[in-house]
Chains A and B, each alone.
Chain A
């Protein structure tokens, strides 16, 4: 039963996330936090933070880890399989068809119409994270850490892995 749930929790984000792995992050959150309650918002943000400091595709890292937490090695396999297999099978199977239609306005329209919804889901998730940070740290710490990391990542173009490492050190020393 748990394996079936793991499969479903990662199959839905895998098959509906247009725009690569990052687009499926809010869909994964929807399943594992809101629907199945495997993680709290805070735990999910920890997984996401660590996932972002490590290299490689983000969707499979999350599926692998959350699947492992819920169902051991087989759970990890199930999560990764559900994330990867459906779209890969589609790609191999529909190859000829897609090659012919990849310039078709219908296929292009599919990505276009999904994008605003992904933006909304990401926006809602952003709000959840800021709110949960406010509850844990208060507004001042949240705003200061948020503003500093924004400047470092987006203006100075410091690699996100260093910013997360910096936040971990700051939190370990001053917020413990």
Chain B
């Protein structure tokens, strides 16, 4: 019964969350905290902060971790399957259907018309990441420097973005904390 609850909780959060994993976070909270009461709101906040400190898709980290805590390894699998499998299945089904009519002119028209819409979506995402970055400790100047340098490295020098990100992560970990910041951090 518990395993079925785990599956249903993450199935609902997955199927109702439009706009990728991050938009399903409040839905996961509703299931996990309000409906099934597997954890307190505070604890959920902790888990979310933890998941945000790690790379990769957020929805599956939450589903896997909470599933594991509630129902062990089987719970982990049920949480993951509930989150992902139905939507992947739909995706494969629809794309395959679309591809089999690929040569029809109306399908060609459809796929042409959708490109500018996706470009606009990406543009707003770009802007959001940029804005968040200027609001972080980097500020306008820091963000501008980071953007220009990484743009040159990726587009002109053709360095794989993975190498740049990895170098930055390493730098962030190894850099000594300034004493002022150290003091400002509450000890756990």
Is A149 positioned at the interface, with any CB of B under 8 Å from its CB? yes
Give the interface size bracket for B toward A.
35 or more
Choose among A21, A65, A112 the residue that contacts B58 (Cβ–Cβ < 8 A). Answer: A21
Is A33 positioned at the interface, with any CB of B under 8 Å from its CB? no
Interface residues of B in 112-166 (CB under 8 A from A): 112-126, 129-130, 132-133, 136-138, 143, 146-147, 150-151, 154-155, 160-162, 164-166
Q: Is the Cβ of A118 less than 8 Å from the Cβ of B129?
A: yes
Q: Is the Cβ of B119 less than 8 Å from the Cβ of A122?
A: no
Q: Is the Cβ of B172 less than 8 Å from the Cβ of A176?
A: no
Known: A22-B22, A111-B53, A114-B168. A106 touches B177 (CB 8 A): yes
Known: A22-B125, A103-B185, A118-B129. A136 touches B115 (CB 8 A): yes
Known: A55-B14, A68-B92, A110-B169. A19 touches B129 (CB 8 A): yes
Interface residues of B (CB under 8 A from A): 14-22, 24, 46, 49-61, 64-65, 68, 76, 80, 83-84, 86-88, 90-92, 94-95, 98, 104-126, 129-130, 132-133, 136-138, 143, 146-147, 150-151, 154-155, 160-162, 164-166, 168-169, 171-173, 175, 177, 181-182, 185-186, 188
Q: Contacts A57-B84, A102-B50 known; list 17 others, CB within 8 Å.
A: A16-B162, A20-B22, A48-B118, A50-B95, A52-B121, A56-B84, A57-B57, A57-B60, A60-B60, A61-B84, A84-B56, A87-B60, A106-B175, A111-B53, A115-B143, A116-B133, A171-B113
